[in-house]
Amino acid sequence: MIKKTYNSKKLIVLLSLVSFLLMACSNASTNNTSSSKSAPAGINSKSSITVKPPLVGLVDMGAQQPYQEGQNFPIVNLSELGNDYQAFKGIVINETWAQLEPSQGNYDWTDLDNSLSAVNNYNLSHPSYQLSVKFRIFGGKTAPEWAKNLGGSPVTLITGKSRLVGTFGRWWTSSYNEAWSTFLHALASRYDNNSLVRAVAVTSCGSSTGEPFVLSLNGQNAIALENAGWTVQAEESCLKGIFSDYSGFKITPIDLASNPLEVLVNNKASSDLAFTEQIMSKCATSQENGGPICVLGNNDLSNSVTTLRPASIYSEIDTLWNAKPNSFGVYFQTVAPNQNVGCQAISIAISHHATSVELWPPQGKIQGFSSIPLSSLKQWNSDLISGTPLNC
């Protein structure tokens, strides 16, 4: 009788062990959403965090020129921080959709994983000055060619101050939208639980830049877009889908760069602030309504931004904040390298509730944040984190 009881217990233990191993194999299979290798060593693929803390302090916004030139982004360049590394809390990893989904449904996370590994290794070497990561994935002219042909042939547009020519997919069509949203959900499935990734920039419907509300509606572009079937209503429909696009991110905040929507009125470019305010309001209340954690922002921060065209965005952020203080996050990005950006700009950011600001890095002849004294950068970083008003 005693021998029989002992054998039963052994059988129960053995069955429990087999069950555990099968569950582990099942979880490993479920978590591998990529056709490439798994996430790099040293980076969490699963996290027990329910909601990630916000990205705070100064953030290196990374290289931007590859997008304007329609090129792939290189692996994140941490050397550009130089001697200023003590003043930064985050860095943006920029990638193109084409890099990550070269053919429909086939994902290649290699470049993104290599950049994350670079940041992880940097953090191991700088334990007192570790960096968090923000993703900015560009579509637009750097969408994969298969996506550019969804809903019709690509559209040729002229964008940016350099008047660069590029081809664009019909981002306002349902077939393009569905492919983009499917890609974002695959991105979220792989990286939402990665503790290193603390923010994801919203780039849905972006064309001229990665900003959703910015279009290039000069005469030639307007004609090309309208001939391809673009309408203001289709653009608004695309923008209303932002929260569905990024709904796969359950614990990683999404950053929404806001501007008055550019529209056409009587064949002339105009602005529709009221529509932008609708989307901003939805962002501010997204989390409480079961959507992604949404952070409001603007990418035109300067010493004089509150007297320029983006001033209405800063005013609306204040209005939404006053209605429900601390219910959403705020970030800003400086308008351009070495252009009217100093202590006053950071002071404006803090006064409009921002906890992080992206600064342009040094690139070629552009000095970016390297032109600012380290002591100032460290003070800006500290005051952004604490919310302390700057004395300029």
How much is the pLDDT for 378?
97
Q: What is the dihedral of CA 80, 304, 331, 113, to 10 degrees?
A: -30
Every domain of the chain and the residues it spans:
51-386
Class of domain 51-386: alpha beta
- How many C-beta atoms lie closer than 10 Å to residue 350's C-beta? 20
How much is the pLDDT for 146?
98
Q: Which residue has the higher pLDDT, 43 or 171?
A: 171
Q: Reduced to 3 states, what is the DSSP secondary structure of residue 203?
A: coil
Angstrom distance (rounded) from CA 213 to CA 262: 7
Contact between residue 59 and residue 214 where contact means Cβ atoms under 8 Å apart:
no
How much is the pLDDT for 217?
85
Q: What is the pLDDT of residues 303-318, one digit of tens each?
A: 999 999 899 999 999 9
Q: Which residue has the higher pLDDT, 339 or 243?
A: 243
Angstrom distance (rounded) from CA 220 to CA 58: 38
Amino acid at position 193, single letter: N
How much is the pLDDT for 59?
98
Q: What is the pLDDT of residues 57-75, one digit of tens each?
A: 999 999 888 887 878 899 9
- 336 pLDDT tier (thresholds 50, 70, 90): confident
Does the structure show a pLDDT above 60 at 11? Answer: no
Contact between residue 385 and residue 56 where contact means Cβ atoms under 8 Å apart:
yes
DSSP notation for 360-389: PPPBTTB-GGGGS-HHHHHHHHHHHHHTPP
Angstrom distance (rounded) from CA 269 to CA 94: 29
Angstrom distance (rounded) from CA 198 to CA 135: 8
Angstrom distance (rounded) from CA 325 to CA 331: 15
Amino acid at position 155, single letter: V
How much is the pLDDT for 385?
96
Angstrom distance (rounded) from CA 263 to CA 271: 6
How much is the pLDDT for 161?
64
- How many C-beta atoms lie closer than 10 Å to residue 271's C-beta? 16
Q: What is the pLDDT of residues 340-390, one digit of tens each?
A: 899 999 999 999 999 999 999 998 888 899 999 999 999 999 999 999 988
